[in-house]
Amino acid sequence: MSVVKLYTGTKSTKEALLEWEEVLEGVRKKNPAKKFTSAKDRADYINLIHKTGNQELWMQEMFPQYCTSKPAKFQIRSTRRLVGKKRYRQARRWARGLSKSTRRMMEILYKHFVEGFRVNMLLISKNEGNAERLLEPYRAQLEANARLIDIYGIQERPGKWTSTEFVTKKGASFRAVGLGQNPAVPGWRSCA
């Protein structure tokens, strides 16, 4: 028998925080930190996953939660076209359920952590709540994925980490924007 939760109105802050903690706990359980026998083993592991051409290995090692089977050839080709480029546009016309969003998240984090790419990401939807849900997987991985934290450190910055906008310690910024909202960040100048 399944349990159905009925909410009238909006969730309280306490309920939202408890649900978010459940999400983070799920990420922690599915992506446990690797155990190394020595500092040399750890360094060899980092060199291996950072080696050029090993982006698939990096994704499998950092996100075992999502990489439960071998990626398809079209997914590998798509990632290869993106890796190593400073500017690249790509429309993914993949069928529903072929992990477009998940794959993109892993690629963006790869580019940021391995290639040192400075990320400024806007996730846009019809309202801010939906955009925030699109941003949740990024935030959850950066907050609770023990493998990412072990290799790249804690990314959360005090005062710069909310559910709709956050900036990592290495300077990657992520923002959820709803239709009709001004995506301009205070203090930034437009390029136009």
Render pLDDT for 130-156 as a digit per residue (tens, 0 to 9).
999 999 999 999 999 999 999 999 999
Q: How far does Cα 62 stand from its chain's mean position?
A: 11
**pLDDT higher than threshold 70 for residue 30:** yes
Residue with tokens 């990320």: 119
13-30 helix and 128-144 helix, angle to the nearest 10 degrees: 50
Cβ neighbours of residue 65 closer than 8 Å, sequence gap 6 or more: 27, 30, 31
pLDDT at 184 (0 to 100): 66
Ramachandran class of 187: left when φ > 0, alpha when ψ lies in -120 to 50, beta otherwise: left
**pLDDT higher than threshold 50 for residue 192:** no
- Token couple for 81: 């076209």
Q: Please write the tens of the pLDDT for every residue from 160-188.
A: 888 899 999 988 999 999 887 776 655 44
Q: Please write the tens of the pLDDT for every residue from 107-135.
A: 999 999 999 988 888 888 898 889 999 99
State mean pLDDT over 41-67: 94
pLDDT at 94 (0 to 100): 83
Q: Give, for 167, the enclosing helix (H) or strand (E).
A: strand 165-167
Cβ–Cβ < 8 Å for 54, 19: no
DSSP classification of residue 115? S
Q: What is the pTM of this model?
A: 0.83
Residue with tokens 């309202």: 127
